[in-house]
């Protein structure tokens, strides 16, 4: 049995995010097309004599709030394994940014421990455990391009989106997902969902049709709460992005560029203007 494994935890991007309404359990019913990005954290998961340990840079949330820690804990509660586990995270995905970095780490840790200890959990069982850790974790286990429903935990795979060059940029402020959904309860209203139109465009491999419907129904609420995000959106659009929309509950914005050169230019300007910036593309 191997003593350690290395795994990549891919960031996710909501190509669309439709909020259908608030449910009785307080969560929100979603319809979203999610997409894996090349941007990824690198994890080394190893077996130790006991305990659960998560190590990484100063950016990492403390163990109790760390989804990778929580994932290993849930797996241990459910399967009763005794070994200790150490998860070392080389963080590249920005934290609390709307890119599912914590969820990606959790999914990678679940799969790695299942493999390392030969627990033999099926992908269905892993997905059920993943949903307990967080709404985005089941998608991160599978990756690619998928339509997610429910609170985000139910998914069906879609044809791959074409390769798209993206600039991700954020002002230096933190957004709490809970606060964004609460603001949506007060001010948001469901609009016609974009996800079914994106699914149709993906099935036709119609790029222009896809670009037309990229968007996020949490965006109006976040732009109103955080004027810095609204200003950044205008700026990115002014630099020639084909489309700019909010990632998850923010505060990161995704700017779709016509190609690598255009994306590099937007990224260069965004960095020079003092925004935290990442150049990446969709994983095909
Ligand atoms: O499931 P997760 O822990 O990622 O969600 C964080 C918070 O975001 C939830 O406690 C809830 O307030 C909000 N949320 C929601 N509806 C969703 C997903 C998250 O209201 N579909």
d(CA 147, CA 142): 12
| pLDDT of amino acid 191 | 87
Q: Is 275 in the pocket of ligand 1 (CB under 6 A)?
A: no
Determine the atom of ligand 1 nearest the C-alpha atom of 177: 8
In this structure, the dihedral spanned by the alpha carbons of residues 143, 144, 147 and 150, taken in order and rounded to 10 degrees, is: 10
Say yes or no: CB of residue 134 within 6 Å of ligand 1.
yes
Query: β-strand 253-257 against 52-55: which pairing, if any?
Result: unpaired
- Phi then psi for 128, rounded to 5 degrees? -65, -45
| Nearest Cα residue to 154 out of 68, 34, 70 | 34
The closest-lying atom of ligand 1 relative to the alpha carbon of residue 26 is 20
Q: How far is the CA of 264 from the centre of ligand 1 (A)?
A: 33
CA of 149 to the centre of ligand 1 (A): 13
CA 207–ligand 1 middle distance (angstroms):
31
Query: Which pLDDT score is estimated for 188?
Result: 85
Ligand 1 atom with the smallest distance to the CA of 152 is 21
- Ligand 1 within 6 A of CB of 135: yes
Tell whether ligand 1 has an atom less than 6 A from the beta carbon of residue 131: no
> Is 30 near ligand 1, meaning CB less than 6 Å away?
yes
Q: How far is the CA of 135 from the centre of ligand 1 (A)?
A: 7
How would you write the pLDDT of the chain (284 residues) with one tens digit per residue? 679 999 999 999 999 999 999 999 999 999 999 999 999 999 999 999 999 999 998 888 888 889 999 999 999 999 999 999 999 999 999 998 999 999 999 999 999 999 999 999 999 999 999 999 999 999 999 999 999 999 999 999 999 999 999 999 999 998 989 999 999 999 988 889 999 999 999 999 999 999 999 999 999 999 999 999 999 999 999 999 999 999 999 999 999 999 999 999 999 999 999 999 999 999 98
Q: Which atom of ligand 1 is nearest to the CA of 136?
A: 4
pLDDT of residue 264: 98
Tell me what pLDDT residue 190 has: 82
Exposed/middle/buried for residue 55 (C-beta within 10 Å: 0-12, 13-18, 19+): exposed
* Å from CA of 186 to ligand 1 middle: 16
User: Which residue among 181, 217, 248 has the greatest number of ligand 1 atoms within 8 angstroms of its CB, and so is best to mutate?
Assistant: 181
Q: Is 102 in the pocket of ligand 1 (CB under 6 A)?
A: no
């Amino acid at each position: 049995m191997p003593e350690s494994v290395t795994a990549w935890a891919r960031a996710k991007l909501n190509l669309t995010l439709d909020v259908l309404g608030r449910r009785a359990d307080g969560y929100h019913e979603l319809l979203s097309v999610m997409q894996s990005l090349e941007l990824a954290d690198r994890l080394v998961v190893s077996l130790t004599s006991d305990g659960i340990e998560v190590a990484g840079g100063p950016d990492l949330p403390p163990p109790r709030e760390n989804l990778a820690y929580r994932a290993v804990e849930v797996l241990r509660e459910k399967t009763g394994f005794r070994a200790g586990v150490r998860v070392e995270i080389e963080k590249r995905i920005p934290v609390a940014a709307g890119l599912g970095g914590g969820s990606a780490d959790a999914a990678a840790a679940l799969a790695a421990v299942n493999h390392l200890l030969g627990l033999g959990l099926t992908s269905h069982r892993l997905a059920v455990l993943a949903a307990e850790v967080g709404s985005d974790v089941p998608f991160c286990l599978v990756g690619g391009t998928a339509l997610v429903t429910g609170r985000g935990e139910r998914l069906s795979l879609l044809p791959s989106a074409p390769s798209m060059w993206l600039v991700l940029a954020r002002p230096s402020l933190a957004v709490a997902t809970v606060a964004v959904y609460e603001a949506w309860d007060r001010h948001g209203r469901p609009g016609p969902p974009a996800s079914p139109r994106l699914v149709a465009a993906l099935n036709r491999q119609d790029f222009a049709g896809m670009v037309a419907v990229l968007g996020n129904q949490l965006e109006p609420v976040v732009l109103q709460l955080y004027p810095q995000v609204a200003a950044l959106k205008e700026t990115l659009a002014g630099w020639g992005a084909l489309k700019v929309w909010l990632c998850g509950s923010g505060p990161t914005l995704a700017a779709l560029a016509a190609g690598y050169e255009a994306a590099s230019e937007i990224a260069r300007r965004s960095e020079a203007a003092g925004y935290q910036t990442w150049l990446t593309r969709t994983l095909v």
